[in-house]
Structure 1
Amino acid sequence: MTAAPGVPVVDLDLGELRDDPYPAYAKLRHTAPLAWVPSVGRHVVTRYEDIVHAEKLPEVFSSREEGSLLLRTVGPNLLREDDPGHRRLRAAAEPPTRPRQVLELWARTFERTAHELLDRIAGRGEADLIADFAEPLAAANLAAVLGLRNASADDISDWSRAMMAANGNYADDPDIWLRAEHATRTIEAAVAEMAEAVRREPDGSVISSMVHAADPVRLTEIQNNVKVIIGGGVNEPRDVFGTGAQALLRRPDVLDRVLADPGLWKRVFEETARWVSPIGMYPRQLTRNHEIAGIALPAGSRVALVIASGNRDESVFERPDEFDIDRRHRPHLAFGGGPHFCMGAWVARHEVSALAWPLVFGRLKGLRLVDDVDDRMEGWVFRGLTSLHVTWQA
């Protein structure tokens, strides 16, 4: 597939996007808000208003994209499905992730896991909060919500990392595909075992909810959708936690305000998700001819909705490159929109803003960043810190 007629062609280096995509996005918003990017193989949409426009028209901007990397990685799933099929799968999987269920079913487990992880490191006086806390917390919590009692936090993390690498494998690295294939086969076996267990004894988990759905869900559908949830369910809370924690440690005045007023943790969460979107873009394919950003695209056109760019659109957010918990509220795009609004948003909000940040900053006294350590932020399809080295008074 090539550029549609009238669409500017813009060459972007995937390595530079991985290091920091935001300068390129800013330039695109001003000079080519709809552009064909050969390295991505898609028409890239970068303005907030155009992304929102597309999200409101799922019948035009279809999730069923031909050649989707996600489909290749995990098979048919609710993220790459349109209604009514999407609605059927979501209705089966979503109940355990709703706000009330998060509080009633999972909050105590989440808090216990957070304390256990902090107990392991509290006496050390130093840690990498990504590897030692945020990732195992997100993975253990996700295993509980999914109902994967036969998988460890390390298993969930490894599987997530392998599949997310494949879902962003625009360079077509064969080793990445092999690792993803091994992960998905292992997940299928684990899900099959637990699906049989909850068929006999329901436990309120996502797998149990899908097994007992009023509209029957096949085992292969459960397996594929668990794979999808494992991807976003680890990287979103992990990366929001790390980005927000680093931002606060670099701004002691803001951190002091939040510690004095715990109600501000919710603002920190939403601003962090806007500022560095953990999921930076998702693909769509046009079902019919349609105009966007002033250019007519033909049916079949492949489109990338770059929500990370939309979340830094100057026409919507003042000083968008700054982290500011006091900015005037405008809805961000970090969890998507329309029928595909992120199913795990309430899980992530609770485990990070209600538990993880308050417990870390409350228990690790004198927490500060380690000097002269390169805690890199990387990624553009998915973006977050690779590490977060800190010290405190043990």
Structure 2
Amino acid sequence: MTATVPVVTDISYQDLLDDPYPAFRRLRDTAPAVFVDAAKLTLVTRFDDITRIERDPATYSADNPASLVNKVMGPTFMRKDGAEHAIGRKAIEPSFKPTTIREHWTPRFAEICTNLVESLIAVGEADLFSALAAPMASLTLMEMIGFDEMPWQTLAYWSQSLIDGAGNYAGDAEIERKAMQAGADIDAAIDAVLDRHRANRNPSILSSMVHADPPMPIEGIRANIKVIIGGGLNEPRDAILTLVLGLLANPAQRDRVLAEPELWPAAFEEAVRWISPIGMYPRRVTRTVELSGVTLPEGLQIGLCVGAANRDDNRFPDPDSFNIFRPKQSHLAFGSGPHFCAGTWVSRLTVGRIVVPMLFERLRNLRLRDDAPPVVLGWVFRGPVSLPVRWDA
């Protein structure tokens, strides 16, 4: 006998935004899949169940016309399966090749980071969200996409508006309006540069799209650039801040990493496990199926809550702690299966090899401020929204 999906009505949406982990723990303990009334969605929160789902795209489809991502951004390859997903992913691959990352993006990203960090050295204190992480993520993504130069705040605003819209499970009308306006502004920015990329092949994502075989149609370009702006800006931004927070809050681990630079990759992976920047994404159940003893009916919309799975104590001992020395285990911060994040290697490079090591190297005695604690928010997308720090100028 299998059970029906239980319903939870006493978890508020604000609870999920402020600190979702107690709710995640409760949901994991309750059932493999639980309908959370405040989110209007059935959430899957256990590591093994999400891994199983991602290995079966025929049953748990990313092709989900009712998803908020499709509503806000259009039909992207991230919300397709099989050949349609593969074609869209292949169209952007030239921009993410290891040689392109190493020879083209690495020196450019290092230059951007150097300029940002050097502008801070004499200041002595700042909120790293607005002083470093947001501009770094915005400026590097602007370059990768191939947009004309614009204020970093513009791309950051578009990204936040899109991800707010994609996570708008509470149905807020103003959030939806801002997301749709951001989408229209992005379309205009694409139109302004597309002819240049058609005429001049280069490493940018827009160039890869228009020179793909076959070239990506304009509707696909617009939708996929939006999904790249949504996930491709907030993920490295939040990973930068999370890694800094984890190290500053754990001085013994910080000191070991600074003394042994070969630990930076492990520190990065632990940061995105501990607070997963992309915490949930949707799937659609294509046939009635049993998931670990619970029946999921055909057509059910489910949310794969990787932010919960990455703190599943059946996989990660003491999961709420930041611990770069924990036994090596794969996590789900970049997804799994065919939809494994295309920008994973760029994020690992940017955050774990360039930005955070440079920050600790050049800002002497970097430390948290006792009078202004960090603020971390979100559940669909989660990360520090304020990280005030001081250093010796």
Report the equivalent of 1:95: 94
Taking the aligned partners of 1:249 and 1:39, their CA distance within structure 2 comes to 34
Report the equivalent of 2:8: 10
Report the equivalent of 1:64: 63
Instruction: Give, as a single letter, the amino acid of the residue that structure 1 aligns with 2:232.
Output: G
Per-residue Cα deviation, 1:351-390 (whole angstroms, up to 9, x for no partner) = 1000001110000001111112132111000000111111
List aligned pairs for 1:33-112, cutoff 5 A.
Answer: 33-112=32-111
Which deviates more from structure 2 when the two are superposed, residues 91-100 or residues 108-117? 91-100
Report the equivalent of 1:131: 130
Taking the aligned partners of 2:55 and 2:3, their CA distance within structure 1 comes to 24
The answer as to 2:303 corresponding to 1:304 is yes
Instruction: Give, as a single letter, the amino acid of the residue that structure 2 aligns with 1:274.
Output: R
In percent, how many aligned pairs have the same letter? 42
2:49, 2:292 within 8 Å by CA — same for their partners in 1? yes
Taking the aligned partners of 1:319 and 1:374, their CA distance within structure 2 comes to 23
1:100 and 1:294, CA in 2 relative to 1: closer, same or farther beyond 3 A?
farther
Report the equivalent of 2:290: 291
Instruction: Give, as a single letter, the amino acid of the residue that structure 2 aligns with 1:65.
Output: N
Shift of 1:322: 1.0
Per-residue Cα deviation, 1:151-187 (whole angstroms, up to 9, x for no partner) = 3322210110111111111121111111112111111
Shift of 1:216: 2.5
Taking the aligned partners of 2:172 and 2:8, their CA distance within structure 1 comes to 23
Instruction: Give, as a single letter, the amino acid of the residue that structure 1 aligns with 2:264.
Output: W
Per-residue Cα deviation, 1:102-135 (whole angstroms, up to 9, x for no partner) = 1111001100000111122111111111110011
Q: Which secondary structure state, in structure 2, belongs to the residue aligned with residue 304 of structure 1?
A: strand
5+ residue gaps, structure 1, are none
Which deviates more from structure 2 when the two are superposed, residues 369-378 or residues 53-62? 369-378
Taking the aligned partners of 1:152 and 1:344, their CA distance within structure 2 comes to 23
Per-residue Cα deviation, 1:194-251 (whole angstroms, up to 9, x for no partner) = 2210111111111000100012211121111011001111111111111110111111
Shift of 1:34: 1.3
Taking the aligned partners of 2:113 and 2:204, their CA distance within structure 1 comes to 20
Per-residue Cα deviation, 1:315-356 (whole angstroms, up to 9, x for no partner) = 111111111111111110000011111111111111100000
Shift of 1:5: 6.9
Report the equivalent of 2:161: 162
Which deviates more from structure 2 when the two are superposed, residues 91-100 or residues 193-202? 91-100
Report the equivalent of 1:183: 182
Per-residue Cα deviation, 1:38-65 (whole angstroms, up to 9, x for no partner) = 2222221111110000000111111122
The answer as to 2:345 corresponding to 1:337 is no
Shift of 1:313: 0.9
2:3, 2:293 within 8 Å by CA — same for their partners in 1? no
Instruction: Give, as a single letter, the amino acid of the residue that structure 1 aligns with 2:281.
Output: Y
2:32, 2:291 within 8 Å by CA — same for their partners in 1? no
List aligned pairs for 1:216-255, cutoff 5 A.
Answer: 216-255=215-254
1:130, 1:388 within 8 Å by CA — same for their partners in 2? yes
TM-score normalized by structure 1? 0.97
Per-residue Cα deviation, 1:293-313 (whole angstroms, up to 9, x for no partner) = 211212111111110111111
Taking the aligned partners of 2:334 and 2:305, their CA distance within structure 1 comes to 12
Taking the aligned partners of 2:326 and 2:3, their CA distance within structure 1 comes to 39
TM-score normalized by structure 2? 0.97
Report the equivalent of 2:315: 316
Instruction: Give, as a single letter, the amino acid of the residue that structure 1 aligns with 2:311.
Output: R
Report the equivalent of 1:366: 365
1:244, 1:268 within 8 Å by CA — same for their partners in 2? yes
Taking the aligned partners of 1:153 and 1:98, their CA distance within structure 2 comes to 25
What number of residue pairs does the alignment pair up? 391
Report the equivalent of 2:198: 199
Report the equivalent of 1:384: 383
